[in-house]
Amino acid sequence: MQTLHETDPLRRAVAHLRQSGTIALVPTMGALHEGHLTLVREAKKRADHVVVSIFVNPRQFGPGEDLDAYPRTLARDCELVEGAGAALVWAPSVEAMYPAGFATNISVSGVSEGLCGGSRPGHFDGVATVVCKLFNQVQPDVALFGEKDWQQLAVIRRMARDLDLTAPHVDSILGVPTVREADGLARSSRNAYLSADDRSRAAALPEAMKHAIGAIESGAPVPATLDLLAHALVDAGFASVDYAELRDAQSLEVLSERENAPMRLLVAARIGKARLIDNMGVAPV
């Protein structure tokens, strides 16, 4: 497996791989865990070669966010993805990704508004811009993302559709279900910020979400159920809840009652030094 840091060698390596088959891209920010490795294994089923990008993208972190603290574990990440079957790691420097004079921003409206877009202004511009660049650099046949970042996936698909991207085509941008710990907590690189106490309390997030989904599916009023969910998290030791919302799974339209189409319950809440996000499906009426 090769690890590359500059765009010219990357282009040559990708051209070489393409001669012997199709390419899947798994974009990541490193600090890899089982969730990422599941993406790599899924990617391997869908293409001949898997390219994993590892880049802590400064443009998607706001002022005061955890850009400096974000765990950087490149050597270990490379071993892990090699074991999972990747052919190439693309780990550009910030200068290789954003050379001096870089002045372009991709901003997707609609699906990027509210939720994480509300609590992290500019975040999805940074995501859309870097993912568009990664797509152009690698030109994959297929790209895989974790469903844990449900809104991110919606933003990336909207961008691919709106910009008529072909490598990958919007239909080849695939979401892979969230990988969870035994107690239900969604795997995340940011779980590393949790103290032992906070880690044991954090399992209240998926539990409270499942409880709320059960209530909504049994006909409980949505706004009151979301209020109860937020209170349950604070009672369980979360410092605050950024949002707890029911949305249409595709359009991300805000819902105040259950509808006859797939829905998603999305939550972001802070505990200790971590801001945890999660989302789960809600059955249509």
- State yes or no: is 5 an active-site residue: no
| 125 binding ligand PAF? (CB under 6 A) | no
Residues 8-37: x/- map of binding to ligand PAF (CB under 6 A)?
-------------------xxx--------
Taking the complex as a whole, how short is the minimal distance between the CB of residue 130 and ligand PAF, in angstroms? Answer: 5
- What is the C-alpha separation between 210 and 185, in angstroms, rounded? 12
- Pairwise CA distance, residues 54 & 223, whole Å: 39
Residues 49-108 that bind ligand PAF (CB under 6 A): 57, 60
Closest approach of ligand PAF to the CB of residue 151, in Å: 11
CB neighbourhood size of 283 (10 A): 10
| Integer Cα distance of 285 and 279 in angstroms | 19
CB 83 → ligand PAF: shortest distance, Å?
20
Tokens encoding 220: 């409980």
Q: Which of 36, 123, 169, 211 is catalytic?
A: 36
The verdict on 130 binding ligand PAF (CB under 6 A) reads yes
> Which tokens go with 172?
């080849």
Residue closer to ligand PAF by CB (options 29, 78) is: 29
Site string for ligand PAF, 203-222 (x = CB under 6 A): --------------------
H-type helices in the chain, by residue range? 7-19, 34-46, 74-83, 94-97, 115-119, 123-138, 150-162, 196-202, 204-217, 222-235
Phi, psi of 124 (to 5 degrees): -75, -20
Q: Which is nearer to ligand PAF, 143 or 232 (CB)?
A: 143
**Residue whose CB is nearest to ligand PAF in the complex, by number:** 27
Q: How far is the CB of 61 from ligand PAF (least distance, A)?
A: 10
131 counts as binding ligand PAF under rule CB under 6 A: yes
3-state SS of the chain: helix, strand, coil percent to 5?
A: 40, 20, 40
The residues near 222 (Cβ < 8 Å, ≥ 6 apart) are 216, 246, 255, 256, 257, 258
Closest distance between ligand PAF and the C-beta of residue 39, in Å? Answer: 10
Interface of this chain with ligand PAF, residues 143 to 162, rule: CB under 6 A: 149, 152
Which stretches of the chain bind ligand PAF, using CB under 6 A? 27-29, 57, 60, 127, 130-131, 149, 152
Question: Would you please indicate which residues are annotated as catalytic (active-site) residues?
Answer: 36
